[in-house]
Chains A and B, each alone.
Chain A
């Protein structure tokens, strides 16, 4: 999708190129220029406050090494969330938080000028940089005051994570010595594998909202009490509530999830009764769900949010609850210092630390572990399949160029007139002019149910699918949202009025090949992947994308104007 506003922004980005050192052909000089103001000391600088420090990372999605990840240019909020953080993008985001354009922070947090700024500021993240930051905070602050918490979606999202069924991530994350984690995509390795890995962690996997389907008994510890800085801290875990809906239920058939607000309330009360002076919810609900939860459940001091991949440079207060959003793909580490006295938070200081890979030194111990984890696949990961002349990215409510590429591949390789590709929020970006490697393709496709199906669907059925997914995203009640983006379509255009209820959002569905309207009773050949049904058969999606890219040699993607959005 591209709106007129975006076209204007594209123009602005082009004009800005001239003033950016990285784009003047200065090469390494340009990089150095940008980095003069970007030092590890400055990135980690923090004036400590109070007696407890929370460190939070979430949605790393299998990324061991630094990445390019373009934040969304379209991230619409509906209902009470309309125009509220995190539903701000581009200039509106920068203005809201007082961030100057074209700065390192602007590059890390927004999509504007991404290609040009990526050349100046380079990659962000990598667990070795994260380890340096975590160790540094622990050393300066004192281990006895620091809690390090992982919000989940850690074990999935890359070739290595998928091949080792999460083992590479568990091995490396162990070195960070987190105090607890929760999860979502972790569950797509199946119940047995999840239990096996949880046993290896050496720290608890917390999930108060997961019960066995037979006796309704807790599957994981719901919370854990810690003592930090003389304060009794309760950390409650909340796994992604809609795991068996958004992902294949047959992979976790004996586990039931849900928001379980009553259970959250009861667990908070129990922790308080046990003397907790600080209650932290380590959540994979998604930001809007957590905002609603905070307004309805009393007694939670901090919600460390996850799932919706939002990166916010401030902690958002909802009543007495602070919401932290730490971004995704290992780009950021959140640090929240709290002054807890007399059983209440008296003050706080927050920093979202962008882990610029060129500025922060890699931790040698973690670097060695990462190299070891990647070694078995090193040749494969680095293999160049083709090149891209366009920026490839996924994140955004409606379409991403990486999805356009995947849809093209599905249609070409499976001889389909329409392609459907899930609106996952994970997947790294590839810069224009860069090679497309096997690693890049798997970063956008590495799941445990990758089969590409081919089937006939009526126009009526396609409409129902689009309506259903749109309601997962745009239902004004966050408790009915599942947190993904809109399903991506190839060969199919449509208009969407996000302000309408289910059944009335999708209009003017068009069969792009013929330019004709999609007819409810007509059947169309559709290819898609990530079916939640057991027994889906077909080649894995990465194979088709690889074949398609190899055949293209150089990928060029046109502006996608097939989705028209109204009701903003």
Chain B
């Protein structure tokens, strides 16, 4: 088959070149399940760190699912650069607007990925960037509103060995 696996584990390779790009890719991929905010899976050491970051951001409040929309591929084409877009439903007026969005990846060595600040002048609460994912994991985006309420969305992104399709 069908291997990107050797990038991660490669030891003795015959009949194959091992270029620098592939060597750099060692460590990408992996099959770790992840657990965050009640999403089931084997626990990771980072869960605590992620939970702490959320608690700090929300001031101890439990975020409500909704209003936040996270756009991510279900399976990453390249774990080194995964496109992510966040949209928060809000009128973005002085009376009602998003102040900040925090993005966390609970399977990365450091779960903090990005934070975005907004004001009514932003017009819309939308942001997009590219992130690096070390393994299959959950990405969570939490939005803080000017009234202190917090909303979230979460999505699993699979980082796979690849090959073998259809």
* Bind each other: yes
Q: Which of B133-166 contact A (CB under 8 A)?
A: 136, 156, 158, 160-166
Decide yes or no whether B120 CB sits under 8 A from chain A: no
Residues of A contacting B31 in the complex (Cβ-Cβ under 8 angstroms): 464, 467-468, 502-503
Closest Cβ neighbor of A536 among chain B residues: B16
- A480 near B166 (CB under 8 angstroms)? no
> Which A-B residue pairs are the 6 nearest by beta carbons?
A246-B165, A535-B17, A468-B161, A482-B165, A538-B15, A420-B1
Residues of B contacting A308 in the complex (Cβ-Cβ under 8 angstroms): 166
- B160 near A468 (CB under 8 angstroms)? yes
Residues of B contacting A457 in the complex (Cβ-Cβ under 8 angstroms): 5-6, 9
Decide yes or no whether A532 CB sits under 8 A from chain B: yes
- B77 near A244 (CB under 8 angstroms)? yes
Interface segment, one of A23-31, A75-83, A523-531: A523-531
- A422 near B1 (CB under 8 angstroms)? yes
Q: Which of A531-549 contact B (CB under 8 A)?
A: 531-538
Q: Which of A311-370 contact B (CB under 8 A)?
A: none
Decide yes or no whether A249 CB sits under 8 A from chain B: yes
Decide yes or no whether B2 CB sits under 8 A from chain A: yes
- B75 near A242 (CB under 8 angstroms)? yes
A453 to B77, CA, bound (A): 23
Minimum CB–CB distance for A429 against chain B, Å: 18
Residues of B contacting A426 in the complex (Cβ-Cβ under 8 angstroms): 166
Residues of B contacting A456 in the complex (Cβ-Cβ under 8 angstroms): 11-12
Minimum CB–CB distance for B41 against chain A, Å: 8
- B contacts, CB < 8 Å to A: 1-7, 9-19, 22, 31, 33, 41-42, 71, 73-78, 83, 136, 156, 158, 160-166
Minimum CB–CB distance for B158 against chain A, Å: 6
A422 to B71, CA, bound (A): 31
- A472 near B15 (CB under 8 angstroms)? no
- A531 near B166 (CB under 8 angstroms)? no
- A257 near B77 (CB under 8 angstroms)? yes
Residues of B contacting A523 in the complex (Cβ-Cβ under 8 angstroms): 11-12
Minimum CB–CB distance for B16 against chain A, Å: 5
Residues of B contacting A423 in the complex (Cβ-Cβ under 8 angstroms): 164
- A contacts, CB < 8 Å to B: 153, 184-185, 216, 240, 242-247, 249, 256-259, 262, 286, 307-309, 420-426, 451, 453-458, 460-461, 464-465, 467-469, 471-472, 477, 479-480, 482-484, 487, 501-503, 523, 528-538
B16, B74, B136: residue with the most chain A Cβ atoms closer than 10 Å: B74
Minimum CB–CB distance for B154 against chain A, Å: 14
Residues of A contacting B164 in the complex (Cβ-Cβ under 8 angstroms): 246, 422-424, 469, 472, 482, 484, 487, 530
- B7 near A533 (CB under 8 angstroms)? yes
- A503 near B33 (CB under 8 angstroms)? yes
- B162 near A532 (CB under 8 angstroms)? yes
- B165 near A245 (CB under 8 angstroms)? yes
A531 to B3, CA, bound (A): 5
Residues of A contacting B12 in the complex (Cβ-Cβ under 8 angstroms): 455-456, 523
- B166 near A530 (CB under 8 angstroms)? no
- A240 near B166 (CB under 8 angstroms)? yes
A465 to B1, CA, bound (A): 10
Residues of B contacting A477 in the complex (Cβ-Cβ under 8 angstroms): 74
- B1 near A482 (CB under 8 angstroms)? no
Residues of A contacting B4 in the complex (Cβ-Cβ under 8 angstroms): 532-533
- Pick the residue among A259, A422, A454, A534 that contacts B2 (CB under 8 A): A422
Residues of B contacting A458 in the complex (Cβ-Cβ under 8 angstroms): 9, 11
